[in-house]
Amino acid sequence: MDRTFVMIKPDGVRRGLTGSILNRFEQKGFRLAAIKLMHIDRSLAERHYAELKEKPFFGELVDYLTSGEVCAMILEGEHAVANARSVIGKTNPVEAVPGTIRGDFAMDVASNVVHGSDSPESAEREIGLFFDEQAALYLFPTPQVAASD
């Protein structure tokens, strides 16, 4: 089963959109495999967006990502990366069509509420950054924990 990394960015969490955003993915057909609310430091934000470090907006992007809690998740499903990107919509909310998350919940590219990996390789790299090895190597079905008596 394919999987991808999705993160609700600080403005999404701050605005109370976590449930609405997760709902879009679940409605689409994704299975939530792992989820974690966390406040990330600059080092993790910089590693996450390492490919953008020469961009003029990189500093602001890191400020934004570290400005509050994010909600990191692993989503599973067929063509997980491409399906998540289509649920999310275009990078710039001005171009994101209504019906997509960015089309419905965001106005500005600098605060576009959600991240989704852009390739299966990026997804594995990002899952490794945000989740520990046990979650990153998560196997299915979900292990059953024996009830203690």
Of Mg ion, ligand DAT, none, which one sits near residue 57, judging by CB under 5 to 8 A according to partner kind?
Answer: ligand DAT
102 by Cβ neighbours in 10 Å (0-12 / 13-18 / 19+) ranks as buried
* 112 labeled part of a ligand binding site: yes
- Judge whether 115 counts as a catalytic residue: yes
Residue number with CB closer to ligand DAT (3 or 115): 115
Instruction: Write the binding mask 31 to 60 for ligand DAT: x where contact by CB under 6 A, - elsewhere.
Output: ---------------------x----x---
Is 142 annotated to bind a ligand? Reply is: no
Let me know: does 76 contact 25? Beta carbons within 8 Å. Answer: no
Are 143 and 135 a contacting pair, CB within 8 Å?
Answer: no
User: How far is Cα 53 from Cα 59, in angstroms, rounded to an integer?
Assistant: 8
> By Cβ distance, which residue is nearest to ligand DAT?
91
- CB-based contact 45:66 (threshold 8 Å): yes
User: What is the contact surface with Mg ion in residues (CB under 5 A)?
Assistant: 118
CA distance 53 to 101: 25
Q: Does 110 bind ligand DAT (CB under 6 A)?
A: yes
To the nearest whole angstrom, how small is the minimum distance from the Cβ of residue 74 to ligand DAT? 17
Please list the alpha-helical segments (H only) found in 1-149.
10-14, 18-28, 42-48, 58-65, 80-88, 101-105, 120-130, 133-136
From the candidates 39, 48, 79, 115, which is the catalytic residue?
115
Shortest gap between Cβ of 109 and ligand DAT (angstroms)? 5
Which residues bind to ligand DAT, rule: CB under 6 A?
A: 52, 57, 61, 91, 109-110, 112, 115, 118
Just list the catalytic residues.
115
